[in-house]
Amino acid sequence: MNNFTTILDRSTPPKPGPFPKVAFPPFDGAPISNGLDIWTVPNHEQPIVSLSLYFRGGSACDPQHREGLASSVAELMTKGTLRRTATQIAEEIDFVGGSLSASSSWDALTINVSVLTKYLDVAVDLLADVVQHTTFPEEEIERMRLQRLAGLRQAKADAGFLSDMVFSKLVFPNHPYGQQPIGTERSIAEINREDILRFAKENIAPANAFMVAAGDIEPDTFRKLMDSNLSSWSGPARQTVTYGNASLARSRRVGLINREGAVQSALRVGHIGIPRNTPDFITLSALNVLLGGYFNSRINLNLREVHGYTYGARSAFDARIAAGPFAVSTEVRTEVTTRAVEEIVSEITRLTVEEVPEEELRMVKNYMIGNFPLQIETPQQVAGRVAALVLYGLERGYWDTYRQKLSAITSVDLYRVAGEYLHPGQLAIVASGDVQALEAGMGEFGEINVFNDEGTVIERPVTI
């Protein structure tokens, strides 16, 4: 008998094998008779159907002094129609074990319905009733108002909420993105039924909408069902979003919100970022993952692992129809706030002056390429990505080539986009914390303005 001994080298990890091929699931789109585009993502693994009806124009379309209008309209869409009260709508969808909700983002107002396939007729009937016959009852408006005002007052106790609010105001002065999508106490108190009806009339129309249906459906059969329920639905022509990109600030600005005696500071550091349809989006996504988009990112390792300033730090490009914000977010101890900002600025600057080592870039690409299949496992996840194609005008094969484009990114590519899209000298730096403890150190980054909990500049700190 021959004895063979294999000596394994455990000093280095094994090389990963090639990534398995992953095809983005098939989908298609076509209009019904009233012009509403219906996109379908068939998947028959489970007897479930999810419908998402998107209306272009979300919170970014809120009129001045009516912040929170789009989100209020969304909240009220399912609160009563000519045929059903809010209670009847809730009971009817609950009876079939489904869900019906509406929400608004910066770029769209969305109504979502999910049911078992055998109750699809019920779901479509409810959806058709909501979009065509919503009445916005006064009692529901008042109930929403009281709940929203209570929520806003409670939110003011959240340091992160305050930092987000002031950061938006610094980065987007005189721009819709500088407003609060949930509104302010003043705007919510002043919004009336006429405002709500006007917004709905201008935006809730088939020409301004598209639907993505995912799950256990047959595309042709489903479109016929939608046409039979919505063929008489009409409205104004598609709304054209006219707000453009905000202008980048000329220098750094510092905003402080006082929370006397606070032991932590909620930090936001960043500036204007990118629109979603920028050709550099995928490369910038990789840059962001490296900077602050996953656990092994530079900012997280720096602030958490090296210095012990925080439990976690992250960065993100919030890409919208117009250029949204780029921001680093974290919470740190009061006494290390200034040093944490120094490290954040240093890491942003470093990307603009040094090429990323190949091994570090390889880790980022492996993470993103390997994670992508997990992001399209369910029909609902696929539907969300199809909706992004439609809402932001991306090419149909965008997700088919996503991993190939990630794989092709080089250190030179990252260096180029860092130099073009990161601006260390024009950052907005916001801290919600103890102003008395922060003011001296934070002054080294730029001119300081102190804000109250309404986001208004004040001459001296106040206690929140």
What was the pLDDT predicted at 7?
63
Instruction: Determine the residue type at 55.
Output: F
- Token pair 């983002």 is found at 105
Domain boundaries, the chain: 28-230, 253-458
Name the burial class of residue 56, with classes exposed (0-12), middle (13-18) and buried (19+) by CB atoms within 10 angstroms of its CB: buried
- pLDDT for 461: 46
Classify residue 361 as left (phi > 0), alpha (psi -120 to 50) or beta. alpha
Backbone angles phi and psi of 150, in degrees to 5: -65, -40
Which pLDDT score, from 0 to 100, does residue 57 have? 86
What pLDDT is stored for residue 17 in this prediction?
A: 61
pLDDT of residue 65: 86
Taking domain 28-230, whether its CATH number is 1.10.3290.10 is answered by no
- pTM metric for this prediction: 0.91
Helix/strand/coil (H/E/C) assignment for every residue in 169-213: HHHCCCCHHHCCCCCCHHHHHHCCHHHHHHHHHHHCCHHHEEEEE
Same CATH topology for 28-230 and 253-458: the answer is yes
String of DSSP letters for 222-254? HHHHHHHHHTT---SPPPPP---PPPPPSS-EE
Is 223 in contact with 30 (CB distance < 8 Å)? yes
3-class DSSP string for 295-311: CCCHHHHHHHHHCCCCC
pLDDT for 22 equals: 81
How do residues 293-314 score in pLDDT, each as one tens digit?
A: 999 999 999 999 999 999 999 9
CATH number of this structure's domain 253-458? 3.30.830.10
**Per-residue model confidence (pLDDT) at position 236:** 79
pLDDT, mean of each 10-residue run, the chain (464 residues): 60 65 91 96 96 95 92 97 97 97 96 98 97 97 97 95 97 94 96 96 94 97 97 81 82 95 96 97 98 97 97 97 97 98 98 97 97 95 97 96 97 98 98 95 95 86 48
CB 407 within 8 A of CB 337: no
